[in-house]
Structure 1
């Protein structure tokens, strides 16, 4: 009997186990501890990096299941900007917003988002079993603190379809607090967890009393994340490209997919103390896309997104009836917290000493899930 902890993310997912008393994220074939939350449905089902370059129709390479899961109607999704750049087909059928494979062909098939999430969970289960050389039976899976009951129910269904026994759905901010406390022994303290991932933002104010976590406030936006930043960069790159070329990238899914990757890489470069980079993409023998992007331009493109994110911090403080000085630690969770402007805004609000950066923001949630899974297992 072995239980594991899984952070089922919008952009990336991570699985952790307890090894020698400490949580450890399991690495994948590329040596990284996180896997892209992407599934390709072709001659075989591929997950992660192999799915990104799968030899199948682009519209059958599916992602963003966490943004779709549990929604009854597409028109209810508050992510119109992201939908314009999706390379897969979506529809509403039987009160479920989901994917359409092979649209318009005799092999057309409707997929619920939880079916896609189940494939990611299956993959993570197999990776854990390979690493542990033991059969995995139980799992603690994390979800955003703002997930509604329909979204939680659909996530539970995904776990069931993955052949796992769900031991607990754990809120992501709580998982992060548990992981930080296990490493740093935060004592009796008040924490603000700023969880800015690929597709969601959770801001939670928690009170640690010993090893117990009490929730004082939860705010956020389940449709605000790093992918929205990527989308802004993509729109900027397309606008600049169209100033000098009439070549229509918008109608070519493979190029849109490639551009998404290039724009995400540009964001990551600018998050690593680099002031300027180029978004470069070969289109054909005669045409290239080359658009410069500075850190200042990125901040300007995403001013409203960053403002919305920090507004949730103020809302959480107001809900908890606290001031910034009442917070002992600010825990940064999710890859999008690496964006310099986000860190600067949080530092200006709380002061540098309160910002906790000593655990990997991509792995901390799965670490907390693994700690809870281990407690349940014992």
Structure 2
């Protein structure tokens, strides 16, 4: 009998358990503690890196399910830029935005995003049970603080489809605060949690009183994340490539998939104190894509996205009727907080002493979910 905590992310997901009184993220076959939130539907259903590396028809390799959860109509989705670069097919059917597998064939079928999310949850459950060598009986799953009721309901449906017993949905910033407090015993303090993931931004101001978390303000953007940065880089790379080549990449799904990976790699290089890199992709024996990208160019390409993100910080402070000086700690959550410009803007606003970087931003939310799940389990069985 054991409960686990899951961070069901747009780009990556993570599962954690309690071990010797501390949360531990569980590694997978690739040796990493996070798994790509990708599902491939072919002869069998594959999840994570297996899905990314599969030979399945690319239009049946599905991602971004978190961004589709709970939406009735595609035209209501605000992430138009990202949608133009999707390699799968989408549609609205029976007031549900979802995926179309095997489009235009006798095997065509519609998949709701919660069905895709359920496969990711099943995968995480299997690895948790392998690691623990016992059955998982309950789960706490995290969601963005700004998720609407329809999005929460769709998440709950995904959990049900994964045959997991839901013990609670926990807001991602609260989970981060719980994990950070468990590590550092923050005492009575005011925290700003800047949660910038692959698909969503949450900015929350929380007050810690002992081990209790009081929410003072929540702002953010449920369609702003690292994937939007990737999309800007992709559009830039395609534009630059077309200046010197007539080769049409846009309609070739495998090349778009490969370019997405190369652009994400370029972003990550520039987030690691590297000032310049090349987006390089072999196309065929005669044609290659090679586009230089500097950190300053990246900042210009995404300046409006970064500005929007920091504006949410000001919005949260205004909602809480607080000044930046009132914040004791700024906790960075989500892989996109590794972007240098984001850290520069937050440091300029709050000062370097308040910015907390010592916990892994990819794992901290699932750690908090595991701590919360364990507290529920202890209260029930003791």
Matched residue, 2:183: 183
The whole-number CA distance in structure 1 between the counterparts of 2:92 and 2:14 is 29
CA shift at 1:37, angstroms?
0.1
CA shift at 1:302, angstroms?
0.2
Equivalent position SS for 2:375: helix
Matched residue, 1:149: 149
Deviations along 1:23-60, whole A, 9 cap, x unmatched? 00000111100000000000000000010021211100
CA shift at 1:367, angstroms?
0.1
Aligned pair 1:10/2:10, yes or no?
Answer: yes
Deviations along 1:177-197, whole A, 9 cap, x unmatched? 000000000000000000000
Aligned pair 1:208/2:208, yes or no?
Answer: yes
State how 1:185-334 maps to structure 2 within 5 Å. Answer: 185-334=185-334
Matched residue, 1:31: 31
CA shift at 1:103, angstroms?
0.4
Equivalent position SS for 2:193: strand
Matched residue, 2:166: 166
The whole-number CA distance in structure 2 between the counterparts of 1:62 and 1:136 is 26
State the Cα RMSD in Å.
Answer: 0.3
Deviations along 1:187-236, whole A, 9 cap, x unmatched? 00000000000000000000000000000000000000000000000000
Deviations along 1:290-340, whole A, 9 cap, x unmatched? 000000000000000000000000000000000000000000000000000
CA shift at 1:162, angstroms?
0.2
State how 1:355-370 maps to structure 2 within 5 Å. Answer: 355-370=355-370
Matched residue, 2:82: 82
CA shift at 1:76, angstroms?
0.2
State how 1:42-53 maps to structure 2 within 5 Å. Answer: 42-53=42-53
Deviations along 1:85-127, whole A, 9 cap, x unmatched? 0000000000000000000100000000000000000000000
Equivalent position SS for 1:159: helix
Q: TM-score, normalised on structure 1?
A: 1.00
The whole-number CA distance in structure 1 between the counterparts of 2:342 and 2:59 is 33
Equivalent position SS for 2:239: helix
* Runs of 4 or more consecutive aligned structure 1 residues displaced over 3 Å after TM superposition: none
The whole-number CA distance in structure 1 between the counterparts of 2:139 and 2:124 is 11
CA shift at 1:22, angstroms?
0.3
The whole-number CA distance in structure 2 between the counterparts of 1:263 and 1:206 is 35
Deviations along 1:264-289, whole A, 9 cap, x unmatched? 00000000011100000000010000
Q: TM-score, normalised on structure 2?
A: 0.99
The whole-number CA distance in structure 2 between the counterparts of 1:284 and 1:233 is 22
Matched residue, 2:98: 98
Consecutive unaligned residues of structure 1, counting only runs of 5 or more, are: none
Deviations along 1:226-268, whole A, 9 cap, x unmatched? 0000000000000000000000000101100000000000000
